[in-house]
Structure 1
């Protein structure tokens, strides 16, 4: 059992392929979306937020997300486009990208550099 929320997205599959639906499942309205790609073997993130909530989906490849909420540290592997990891504002998160990975991110707020906290838990 994870301390972090991993949503199972509704997926319809048949001989023509798979269709994954994200309809009313996020616990916040989406103000910003972006995707990260071409980061093979790299780490991204390495921060938490004051107020922004996020939802992460690996559309392709594998992304290992290191999460830390100040009490629990956990690595969550995203490798299927029907899984969505919720990242709350207090969650320190760092993503490690496997070959050919594409990570889609939905955010509750637009970009604001003052919303980022770059100091991990346990450090001053």
Structure 2
């Protein structure tokens, strides 16, 4: 199941510094970010082997997750929240604010064969 973790953040009068260190359970092979999203949904898949970590750097979005035993919505609305998605987590992202920037760290390089688009039991 997807897991929401809080990233360590240091705050003082100069601002905030958030660290992504020793909390991601994989070696990062790919980084991408999604922005400029209209009212569309993104994602709509799970993976065979890729693990992902999603961080909304600016603005907010919601990530729906289904691991075939539990469905849950996660709101990413601060850059110190990180959502870990396991390969079995069928997910979609939506409700992006106009200024949203969603960064995703991935355990694998892009491979079209790694994607499974069908939702579990056609419940979605």
Alignment TM-score > 0.5, same fold? yes
Corresponding residue to 1:15 among 13, 17, 25: 13
1:52-87 per-residue CA deviation (whole Å, 9 max, x = no partner) reads 000000001111000000010011000000010000
Aligned pairs, number: 121
The runs of 5 or more residues in structure 1 that have no matched partner are: none
Following superposition, the deviation at residue 41 of structure 1 comes to 2.2
CA distance in 2, matches of 1:69, 1:86: 12
CA distance in 2, matches of 1:119, 1:112: 17
The runs of 5 or more residues in structure 2 that have no matched partner are: none
- Give 3-state SS (helix, strand or coil) of 1:122's partner: helix
Residue in 1 that maps onto 2:67? 69
Residue in 2 that maps onto 1:120? 119
Residue in 1 that maps onto 2:48? 50
Residue in 1 that maps onto 2:98? 99
TM-score (norm 2): 0.94
Root-mean-square deviation (CA, aligned residues, Å) is 0.9
